[in-house]
């Protein structure tokens, strides 16, 4: 992998990740852009104990542009975009309309391929590995920023999810705090460790799922399963078999096998609802241990956390979505219409050719 860092016309950082070491990236951003001005602010909700990012500048972000005006496609002639070069393998750049900025963290965009009409599932194994390497590199770099406590790599796919740019891409949020969902995991981890005299909760979950009926895919280094208490109609958790706290700690064997397992999983997601259905909308979310102090989670260290990816769709059946209505949005109590065992069975049925 070759990494080349440059600056866009408004001062934001852009990084090329290339498969070939002899690739030269010297294209200049020719757009007449002013310096980006953000109004991001993180406010603490003292009643619920969580935080909310207030980012009014995002009201003006690009919204469903036609394909020939996509800002994530390469620059071609006088058609200028966020990527100055005429082609690329993987690109990461600072979001022009970030939810978090400055002392409130940082937001980045990850473009998986220059092919506007592709999806992550269309990538080759070599391309998917490059994305994994980019996620890992950004996790490392962002973790050293003084304002950053947790790094979150994720992909939103599909208009139903709320995606406003159709080009295959994901995002990275670098938060200045430990997110509420991670904090819940850490509290459960601490309680289980104390109650069992030191047993790791993540290890116990993986062992339980291996012995059950919800396993979807098994590799030598990765395991994919539908969790016992899945929140979403089709939800899969992907764990490395060797517990590690973050992407940085994955060994070469796990990195090599990841593209095979993950691409197969994504292709199965696109087959769940049968022929003629639009591509399955999904969210793919990496959960990594925070880089900040964990003193509030008694007895838990970073090494107790288990890196894993959660992949889920909001589509519950053909032509119907799972909406977060009163119980989910008002009380955070999910109601799942698809039994996890049936979801796992379906995902095993639709093995791609």
Catalogue the active-site residues. Answer: 169
Find all residues with CB under 8 Å of 42, minimum gap 6, and list them: 51, 52, 53, 54, 100, 104, 105, 176, 177
Q: What torsion, rounded to 10 degrees, do the Cα atoms 149, 154, 159, 160 define? A: -80
Length of the chain (residues): 353
Contact yes or no for 156/312 (Cβ under 8 A): no
Task: Convert 174-205 to b/e letters by CB count within 10 Å (16 or more is b).
Answer: bbbbbbeebbebbeebbebbeeeeeebbbeeb
Find all residues with CB under 8 Å of 260, minimum gap 6, and list them: 125, 219
CA 270 to chain centre: 18
| Integer Cα distance of 186 and 290 in angstroms | 10
């Amino acid at each position: 992998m070759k990494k080349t860092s440059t600056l866009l016309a408004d001062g934001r950082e852009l990084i090329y990740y290339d498969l070939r070491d002899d690739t030269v990236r010297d294209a200049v951003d020719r757009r007449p852009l002013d310096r980006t001005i953000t109004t991001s602010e993180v406010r603490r909700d003292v009643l619920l104990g969580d935080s909310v990012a207030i980012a009014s500048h995002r009201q003006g972000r690009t919204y469903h542009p036609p394909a020939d005006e996509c800002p994530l496609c390469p620059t071609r002639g006088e058609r200028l975009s966020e990527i100055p070069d005429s082609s690329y393998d993987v690109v990461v750049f600072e979001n022009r309309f970030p939810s978090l900025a400055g002392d409130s963290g940082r937001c980045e965009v990850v473009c998986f391929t220059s092919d506007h009409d592709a999806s992550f599932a269309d990538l080759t194994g070599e391309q998917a590995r490059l994305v994994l390497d980019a996620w890992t590199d950004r996790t490392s770099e962002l973790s050293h920023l003084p304002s950053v406590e947790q790094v979150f790599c994720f992909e939103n796919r599909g208009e139903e999810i709320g995606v406003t740019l159709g080009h295959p891409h994901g995002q990275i949020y670098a938060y200045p705090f430990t997110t509420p969902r991670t904090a819940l995991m850490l509290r459960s981890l601490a309680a289980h460790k104390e109650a069992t005299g030191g047993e790791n909760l993540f290890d116990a979950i993986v062992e339980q799922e291996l012995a059950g009926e919800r396993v979807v895919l098994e590799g030598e280094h990765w395991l994919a399963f539908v969790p016992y208490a899945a929140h979403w109609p089709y939800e899969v958790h992907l764990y490395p078999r060797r517990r590690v706290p973050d992407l940085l700690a994955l060994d070469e064997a796990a990195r090599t096998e990841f593209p095979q397992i993950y691409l197969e999983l994504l292709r199965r997601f696109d087959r769940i609802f049968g022929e003629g259905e639009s591509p399955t909308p999904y969210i793919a979310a990496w959960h990594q241990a925070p880089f900040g102090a964990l003193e509030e989670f008694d007895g838990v260290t970073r090494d107790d956390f288990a890196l894993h990816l959660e992949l889920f769709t909001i589509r519950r059946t053909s032509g119907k979505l799972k909406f977060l209505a009163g119980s989910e949005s008002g009380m955070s109590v999910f109601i799942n219409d698809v039994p996890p065992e049936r979801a796992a069975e379906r995902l095993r049925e639709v093995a791609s050719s």
